[in-house]
Each structure stands twice: as structure tokens, then as C-alpha cells.
Structure 1
Amino acid sequence: MTDAPVHDEAHGGGLGVRLNWLRAAVLGANDGIVSTAGLVVGVAGVTRSQAALLTAGLAGLLAGSMSMAAGEYVSVSTQRDSEKAALAVERRELREQPEAELAELTGLLSDRGLSPEVAREAAEQLTERDALRAHARVELGIDPDALTNPWHAAGASFLAFTAGALLPLLAMVLPPASARLWVTVVSVLSALAVTGWWSAHLGAAPPARAVLRNMGGGAVAMAVTYGAGSLLGAAGV
């Protein structure tokens, strides 16, 4: 009974981390689909050259995936530094004012529904077992043994973006020239419907609106870039 609050915190935190990673993967793939589709469709408005389309698509894929990976690395590194700093502060407070920290932990457990007596007993037992871990999980929502890893985040973002970007790239360069544009449009909109549904599912939101919004954004992106490419092609640029 006394371990229930920490167990629930760790379980909920682990589930939240997994959902965040999955959501980031879906959004990364979605970004890869939309950005690469917009690029290759825009180039298709200028030229029908397979080599030009492949070059542009690969350049966009590599630039986008590297940018996503670098951005995620910086973001997660900052988060990890913040978590380490918070743990360092908590470690110092436990060393310098243990009674105050025990009272704080008791209050936090009491706020979660335990009676004052049970909360005090639980806080004392958790403090004896591992004070830093108890405060990290209950007070900070951090698992000291599972800090965010920037390299994992960067690799996941790179792979997710690349997986999404490959679809419009292959859809544009593999079919015959006469069918490239429509194959790409249909493939991209179908993929965006899937990622829109998944993002809504993960966020427990109505899927229809998310799917339509996702598909609409992709369609607008492709229409705008194709129009711009066609104008440039007509102007002989």
C-alpha cells in the first residue's frame, strides 16, 4: 500500500514516455511525407527529368532528416541537462535539510489521497529505501535510471523522417512519367490519412477531423509548390 504512489508514478511516466516517442515518430514521418512531397511535386512542375526529381528528392530527404535529428538532439540534450540539474538540487536539499524534504514528500503523498498518518509512514519508508529516487519520481516526475537520451531521440527522428520521405520520393521517380504526379498525390494523401488517424488515436482525439486536417495541409502544400514550379517552368527559369 505504501509503495503504490511511486509505482503508479513510474508506470504512468513510462507509459507517457512511450506515447511521446510514438507520437514523435508519427509526426516525424508526417513531416517527411509533406516536406518531400512538396519538394518533388514542385520540381515536377518544372521538369519531367527523373534524374532531377531523384536528386531534388534525395537532397530534401537528407537535409530534412539531418535537420530533424539535429533539432531533436539539441532539444533532448537541453531536457536531459535540466533533469540532471533538478536531481542535483534535490540531492543537495536532501543532504542539507532532510527533515524538510521528508515533510515535503509526506505532503506530496498526502495530496495524492493518502491520510496524513499513512503518508508520513510511506514517506519515511521511501526515504529509507532511496530518498533521491522517491523525490525524483514523486516530486519531479523523473526516473533517475531512465533519463532522456539525446542520441536515441536524434536517431528516432532521423529514421522517422526518412521513412516518411521515402514514400513521395519513390512514388515520384518509379512510375512512368505520365503517371508520376497522380501516383504521388494519391500515395501522399493516403499516407497522410494514416498518420493523421494515428496522431488522433494517440491523443485520444476525434480521428475524422485530424485526418481531414492532415490531408488538407498536404494537398495545399503540394498544390502551392506545383503551382510555383509550373510558373517557374513557364517562365523558363
Structure 2
Amino acid sequence: MPPQPLSRVRSSAKVFASPEAIQRRPKLAPFVAEIIVRWADIEANVGSILAFLLAAEAGPTIAMLQTVRSASAQMDMIVSAGKIKLIDPELEMFEAVVRLARSAARKRNNVAHHIWAFCDELPDALLLVEPVAYLDIFVAVSEANLDPKFETLNKSRFEPDNSRILVYRQSDFVEIIEELKSIARCTTFLINYLHPEHPSRDQMYSLLWNEPLIESAVKAVRKSRPSVPEPE
């Protein structure tokens, strides 16, 4: 089960948004760091795949990729290159692995870019606040400051929307880490599989299929493609 909104877990919790959240939950800090580190490994592998597709040096390719800030835009760039350079079954497997990487990027981005918080009601959890929800508080406070009746206003409007705060426990972090490990292996196997003269190419293909996430990703790729009309 993915991380749940605070509104479903403890709707009345008092939320404290602060970088100190990580200090308040020191046992969870290593899991956060590992997610960042493992995504960096995947990102480097994806850059190597793009370098192979473009027949370019890895250094300039990764530098170019990093100028694109959005992970989604990075994946779009890589998919576009793959569709030009590859044909099935290599293209199908390539698209499946990129699909997995795209999904993992979203989970990593939450950890890297959301606002960290905590609440005393959940001592075993860290909270991630959507950045927009966090900014909404400042907008509300700024507008309220212009109201001459500020002191008598209902201050609950200055609290973050609990439906836009996710609760992360150790099991949630571990699940993300295990997914990242699998995707890192997939990117490594894919790099070798795409090389037509790699001595273990067939083995790499088998190893890809052995990864638990690949089957559903391949099915999703096949489903996303336009159907080919049957011959009359």
C-alpha cells in the first residue's frame, strides 16, 4: 500500500513543517538518503542508455540530460531517441524499463522536493507536504494580514490541508528502495542487452524478464500501442 494521506491516518494531528523533522525521526533518515542515492544510480544508467542510442560520449550526454530539470521531460527525450533507433523486441523492453524508471522518479521526487514535517501523534512516521499546499498557507496568511480583524480570524485556515500530506513509515521507504534496486538492475541489464554483440545478450534478456516489475511494464507498453488492424 502506498503512503496514505494524513487525513485518513490521523486527521486531527498537529503538523509541524520543518527540516528538523529528519532529526526528530533519526531512524528513518538513512532510508531517505538511500532513496536519493539509488535514484542517482538509475539516472546515471539512463544517461548511459541515451549515450548508447545517440552513439555519443557518456559525459556530454549526461550533462545534456541534467540540463533538463524535469524527470518526466528527461524520460520523454530518452523514449524519443529509442523509438528512432530501436525496433522490437529491443524497443519494447526499452520502453518497459523507461516506464519503470519514470514511475520511480515520481516517488523519488516526492522525497526530494516535498516539504518535510512531523507530528507528535505519529512518532514512527515522517510527513511529506505537497509544496503547493505549503505555499497555500503563506498565501492565506498574507491575505489575512491585510484584514483588520486578523486576530479574530479562524486560524485553522493557516494549517496545511491534511489530505495533501502523505504519511511515510519505514515500510513505505523500504518498498520504494526495493523498487529502485530492481529498476537499477533493469537499467544495467538493458544497457548490455541493447549492445548487439554483447556476449551475454540473451542472458541479459532473461534476467530482465526475471525482474518482478518487468512483466506488468511490458504489458502496459503493449496496451499503450495503437492496435494493428487485422488483415481482411
Normalised to the residue count of structure 1, the TM-score between the two structures is 0.30
Bigger RCO (CA 8 Å, 6+ sep): 1
